[in-house]
Structure 1
Amino acid sequence: MTPLAYIGAALAEIAGCFAFWAWLRLGHSPWWVVPGMVSLALFAWMLTLVDSEAAGRAYAAYGGVYICASLGWLWAIEGLRPDRWDVGGAVICLVGAGIILFGPRAA
């Protein structure tokens, strides 16, 4: 469930933030904010589905997933292909997220 929650949260967060970007930076209607707010609320709810003892740890691990999803958005929605530095940085972040989420913990 955790990978799906992270992927859903990332898509919801990016879509919600992009709604504000579209309004404020691209000159779209302020009405873009309405679905953006719904999307951001969905993002917050999705993070509560992550199997973690601590919210901060769940959020920290989510960061790596968010970075990868953002680069996917860059390519799929904005039409800019990530370069090798983007991909390398994303891999490093995902490894770090895995260590945070799945590392052994003292009982």
Structure 2
Amino acid sequence: MTIARSLILFAAAALAEIGGAWLVWQGVRESRGWLWIGAGVIALGAYGFVATLQPDANFGRILAAYGGIFVAGSLAWGMVVDGFEPDRYDIAGALLCLLGVAVIMYAPRP
């Protein structure tokens, strides 16, 4: 159950951070305005809170592992929301990052 909870929290954090950054991007780069920017800032704040709910208490480990989730999640977001088509190197890199997440977070430790 702990691994499942951790993965759900990583997914929620990724939605909040990537979604928040995308909203700010839309507000600034696509001139959608302050409402989009404000929503993005709120989502980014939610990301910071969600990260604290991870079962592991080691900040460095959580943020290091989350980096891999962020990489893969950003590519997925781009595919779903912006029509981005990753190439084989994008996919290979994301898979390597997810392997790193598994090693950092879920390898057996004494």
- TM-score normalised according to structure 1 size: 0.92
Asked if 1:34 is matched to 2:41, the reply is: no
Structure 1 residue 92: deviation in Å?
Answer: 0.3
Question: What's 2:54 paired with?
Answer: 50
Q: Structure 2 regions of 5+ residues with no counterpart?
A: none
Compare the two structures and name the one with the higher helix fraction: 2
Question: What's 2:82 paired with?
Answer: 78
> CA separation in 1, counterparts of 2:28 and 2:83?
20
Identity of aligned residues (%): 35
Aligned-pair Cα RMSD in Å: 1.2
| Alignment match of 1:13 (pick from 17, 20, 43) | 17
Structure 1 residue 53: deviation in Å?
Answer: 2.6
> CA separation in 2, counterparts of 1:53 and 1:9?
16
3-state DSSP class of the match of 2:20?
Answer: helix
Structure 1 residue 34: deviation in Å?
Answer: 1.5
The size of the alignment, in residue pairs, is 106
| Alignment match of 2:67 (pick from 63, 68, 84) | 63
- TM-score normalised according to structure 2 size: 0.89
Q: Structure 1 regions of 5+ residues with no counterpart?
A: none
- Partner amino acid, structure 1, of 2:14: A
